[in-house]
Amino acid sequence: MASLPQWFHRLGAPKSFYFMTGKWLPWLALSAFVLLSVGTIWGLAFAPQDAKQGNSFRVIYIHVPAAFLALAGYYVMAVAGAIGLIWRMKLSHMVMKSAAPLGAVLTFISLVTGALWGKPTWGTYWVWDARITSMLVLFFLYLGVIALQNAYSNQDAANKASAVLALVGTVNIPIIYKSVDWWYTLHQPATLKLTGGSSMHPDMLQPLLVMIAGFYCFYALALILATRAEIIYRERRTSWVLDLAAGKQGI
């Protein structure tokens, strides 16, 4: 096996990225499917209901993982944009472009499931509280990046404009994260912390952790699939893609 720097260098070339990730896909898909299935069934049918909220609490098993990934995914998009701008790496721009609709979808899930959870819990689908409003801003940032990607006929200009927006918008992430601490909010404070214990009962926490892991696998899978589609499109005039289309090489 070649050295680690060589491995990264090859990963950065669209063609080798395409074939390397092709081998990872079945494993990612299997992991995502298993983790999400186990987590969902566990959370819906076997985890205890909340003492105050009852069964509407079960929405947490998709709401929290989707929100986590919406935030983490924004960093993925912004970093990919930065790498693309600084080192002019084609593949990095492609990853950034792929991360935008994926992040938008996860933010959408987070907002919709939050609204559906809010109705039985708070009596309303929507409230202009700090966290919810900043998540809506996140959704608009993702849509903005998508819009800029499509606004320019010149790919280079599209890459630059959308990367700049992605980078400027990163300030929103710590705001979302700390919103429940800085403002008097309706949305409840963090129950999962990186340091120290969680305030959640293990019977509720365990399926949540499984779902978070499942969503991470799902994110990786979706991002790789979208990047591969983008690679094929942008490299459609190269000989390796022509071979791929003719069925001369395995996918």
Partner 1 sequence: MFQFDSFAHFMAMDGHGVYVWASYAITFAVMAFIIVSPLLRARQTLKAVKLQQARSARHNAAQTSSQ
Terminal Cα-to-Cα distance of the chain (whole angstroms): 22
CB-CB contact of 67 with 192 (8 Å) = no
Q: How far is the CB of 200 from partner 1 (least distance, A)?
A: 17
- 53's CB contacts (< 8 A; 6+ apart) are 120, 121
Give CA–CA dist 18/33, Å, rounded.
22
**Cβ-based nearer residue to partner 1, 55 or 199:** 55
**Cβ-based nearer residue to partner 1, 47 or 173:** 47
**Cβ-based nearer residue to partner 1, 64 or 83:** 64
Q: How far is the CB of 218 from partner 1 (least distance, A)?
A: 7
Which candidate, 5, 173, 15, places its Cα nearest to that of 94?
A: 15
Which candidate, 145, 135, 3, 123, places its Cα nearest to that of 76?
A: 145
Give CA–CA dist 161/130, Å, rounded.
28
Q: How far is the CB of 221 from partner 1 (least distance, A)?
A: 7
Which positions touch partner 1 (CB under 8 A)?
40, 44-49, 54-56, 58-59, 62-63, 66, 98, 101-102, 105, 108-109, 112-113, 116-117, 119-120, 218, 221-222, 225-226, 228-229, 232-233, 236, 241-242, 244-246
**Cβ-based nearer residue to partner 1, 85 or 149:** 149
Measured CA distances, 236 to 2, 52, 239 (Å): 28, 56, 8
**Cβ-based nearer residue to partner 1, 85 or 138:** 138
